[in-house]
Amino acid sequence: MFVSLRVGLFVRVLVVAAMVAAGLMLVLSSRAEPGAPQGGDRRAGTEQVQANEAAAETRYRVSGTDGAGLNVRACPDADCVKVGWIDEGAPFVGTCWEPGAPVSGNTMWVSGTVDGRTGFISAHYLRPESGVGAPACEDPVDLAR
């Protein structure tokens, strides 16, 4: 009888603790910033995404090509289709980076637009003008294409 009373008390304490924890989670989740992604969801509302895209643009300069310039590629690999060209010293506006084929040990490739075409340039040849690089891309390109 004594053992069954202790188990019953233990169960009641667990139930009360679970209810308090659930109540705290409910209160804390309702206090989240309006418009912020919830529950680990990386997707936000359309307005939030557009604001993030505008803020994510990072200005770079092409450097280290010995004056030869660079091909802009359709995906983050030197074997991908060429979609454009950019001269040494030219500005490049990057929107995000993602991993790709290594170029001199650097696997980062920056996505951006050159002459109206979106493509990738190896980060090995880019220097950010602000000292801060672009953020990581949310949906990396599939290299199997």
Give the model confidence (pLDDT) of 96-129 as tens digits. Answer: 999 999 999 999 999 999 888 999 999 999 998 8
Q: What is the pTM of this model?
A: 0.58
Q: How far is residue 74's CA from residue 84's CA, in Å, rounded to a whole number?
A: 9
Query: Phi and psi of 124, rounded to 5°?
Result: -60, -30
User: Residues of the chain whose pLDDT is less than 50?
Assistant: 32-55, 144-145
Q: How far is residue 16's CA from residue 10's CA, in Å, rounded to a whole number?
A: 10
Q: How far is residue 118's CA from residue 39's CA, in Å, rounded to a whole number?
A: 32
Whether 124 contacts 104, CB under 8 Å:
yes
